[in-house]
């Protein structure tokens, strides 16, 4: 389980875009808190769990590139959050 905090512009569809990205990239949203917007900005705090071997570090960067997302913060140190994936290792194994 990871804690993640996101600063989000309060624009139409921003929240659903953010949440659908978290789920689509392989994380379960265990709990969620959203503040009322102040000056057009809202704070989201969530506890999320990866469904498989997914890196929180990669998710953080995937969320950061969304245009409504102003900041992403993971209280856990990045090297722990990313499952300390050693260089050269595949980070996602999908049997096909």
Partner 1 sequence: MTALPAAELDAHSRPLMTGAQAVVRTLEDLGVRRIFGYPGGAIMPVYDALVGSKLEHILVRHEQAASFAADAQARLTGKAGVCLATSGPGATNLLTGIANAYMDSVPMVILTGQVPSTLMGTDAFQEVDVFGMSLPVVKHSMIVRRAEDIPATIREAFEIAEEGRPGPVLVDLPKDTLQASMAFETAMSASTPAPSRASDDSIEEALSLLRAARRPVLYMGGGIALGHAVEAARDFMARTGIPTVATLKAIGCAHPDAQNYLGMLGMHGTRAANMAVQESDLLICCGARFDDRATGKPDQFAPHARIIHMDLDNAEIGKLRGVDAAIRGDLQDALARLDAGYLAIDSWRTLCRNRKQEFAFSYDAPGSGIYAPGLLKELSETAGDDFIAACDVGQHQMWVAQHCRFARPENHLTSAGLGAMGYGLPAGIGAALERPDSKVVTVTGDGSIMMNIQELATARRYGVPIRILLLDNASLGLVRQWQELFFDQNFSEIDLYDNPDFAEVARSFGVEAFTIHSRDEVPGAIERLLNATGPILAHCLIDPRENVWPLVPPGKSNAEMMED
Question: Does residue number 31 form part of the binding site for partner 1 (CB under 8 A)?
Answer: no
The whole-angstrom separation of Cα 96 and Cα 88 is: 21
Question: Does residue number 95 form part of the binding site for partner 1 (CB under 8 A)?
Answer: yes
Distances, alpha carbon 85 to alpha carbons 8, 13, 41, 90, 91, in Å = 29, 33, 34, 8, 7
Using CB under 8 A, which of the segments 2-10, 14-22, 31-39, 40-48 binds partner 1? 14-22
Question: Does residue number 80 form part of the binding site for partner 1 (CB under 8 A)?
Answer: no
| Both tokens assigned to 32 | 């969620």
Toward partner 1, which CB reaches closer, 39 or 94? Answer: 94
User: Which residue, 52, 1, 70, 10, is CA-closest to 30?
Assistant: 1
Using CB under 8 A, which of the segments 1-9, 31-39, 41-49, 88-96 binds partner 1? 88-96
Toward partner 1, which CB reaches closer, 7 or 62? Answer: 62
Site for partner 1 in 59-78 (CB under 8 A): 61-62, 64-67
The whole-angstrom separation of Cα 83 and Cα 46 is: 19
């Amino acid at each position: 389980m990871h804690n993640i905090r996101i600063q989000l512009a309060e624009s139409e569809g921003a929240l659903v875009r953010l949440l659908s990205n978290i789920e689509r990239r392989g994380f379960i949203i265990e709990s969620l808190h959203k503040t009322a917007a102040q000056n057009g900005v809202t704070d989201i705090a969530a506890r999320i769990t990866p469904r498989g071997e997914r890196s929180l570090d990669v998710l953080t960067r995937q969320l950061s590139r969304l245009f409504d997302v102003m900041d992403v913060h993971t209280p856990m140190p990045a090297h722990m959050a990313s499952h300390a994936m050693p260089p050269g290792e595949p980070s996602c194994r999908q049997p096909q």
